Amino acid sequence: MRAFLAIELNDYVIENILKTQQVLDENSTSRLKHVERENMHLTVKFFGDINERKLKQIKRIINETIESYKPYTMKVAGVGAFANIKHPKTIWTTVKDKEKNTINLIRNLDDKFADIGFKKERSYKPHITISRVKQLNDAQNLSKTLSDMKGNYYGKVDVNKIVLKSSTLTPDGPIYKNEEEFIL
C-alpha cells in the first residue's frame, strides 16, 4: 500500500483555497495543476509503499505519540512557493498554531518513524500544497500574483485527529482513501 499520514482540512478552508486557485488562473498565463478539493490536506509524513509489518509499526508509533497531544487549532494563512516565489514549482499555503503543536507533532512522529527505517525529513515546514506549476510562461506575472497573496487568510482548522491515507496513482491524478483515523 502506498501511504501517508495527514491532517484533514475543513470545508471553509478548502473553499478559500479554491478561490486562490481561481485567482491564480485568472492572473497567470502559466499552466498550473491545482490540487483537487478532495485531495487537499496537510501531509504529516509520506511513507511510500509499505507492507503489513511496516503498517503495524506505523500504527503503533502513531498511537504512542498522540497520547501526549490534545486537540488544538491551527491557522491556515499566507501563500508561498518552492523553490521560491520568483521561480515557483509548487505553490502552497502554510499553517501556524500558538504552541507549535503541528510542527512538534510532525517532528516527534518523524523522529520515531526514522527509528523504523523511514528517511528523516531535512526540514519541517508544514504546508498545504495548492498547485503545481507545469509550465512557467510568465514568471514575473506569477511571482507578482503570489506576492500579492502573501497575506491571504484561509481560516482555522480544529485538529482533533490525524488520518492514515492510501494513495493510488492514476493517469488523472492520485486517488486518496482514508485507511484509519487516530484521535488526539
Series of mean pLDDT values for 10-residue runs along the chain (184 residues) = 98 98 94 96 97 98 97 97 94 95 97 97 92 94 95 98 96 93 98
Burial class from Cβ neighbours inside 10 Å (0-12, 13-18, 19+) for residue 61 reads buried
Q: Of residues 41, 45, 112, 165, which has the active-site annotation?
A: 41
User: Which of 23, 51, 14 lies closest to 154 in space, CA to CA?
Assistant: 14
Instruction: Locate 11 and state its grid cell.
Output: 470545508
- Report how far residue 53's alpha carbon sits from residue 112's, in angstroms, rounded to the nearest whole number: 16
pLDDT for 124: 86
Q: Is 34 a catalytic residue?
A: no
Q: In the numeric block, which cell numbers belong to residue 91?
A: 505553490
166 exposure class (CB count in 10 Å sphere: 0-12, 13-18, 19+): middle
Give the per-residue pLDDT at 173: 84
User: How confident is the model at residue 156, as a pLDDT?
Assistant: 98
Single out the catalytic residue among 2, 100, 107, 127: 127
* Distance in angstroms (rounded) separating the CA atoms of residues 163 and 38: 14
Q: Is 151 helix (H, G, I), strand (E, B) or coil?
A: coil
Quote the cell numbers at residue 22: 481561481
pTM of this structure: 0.94
Phi and psi at 86, nearest 5°, equal: -75, -25
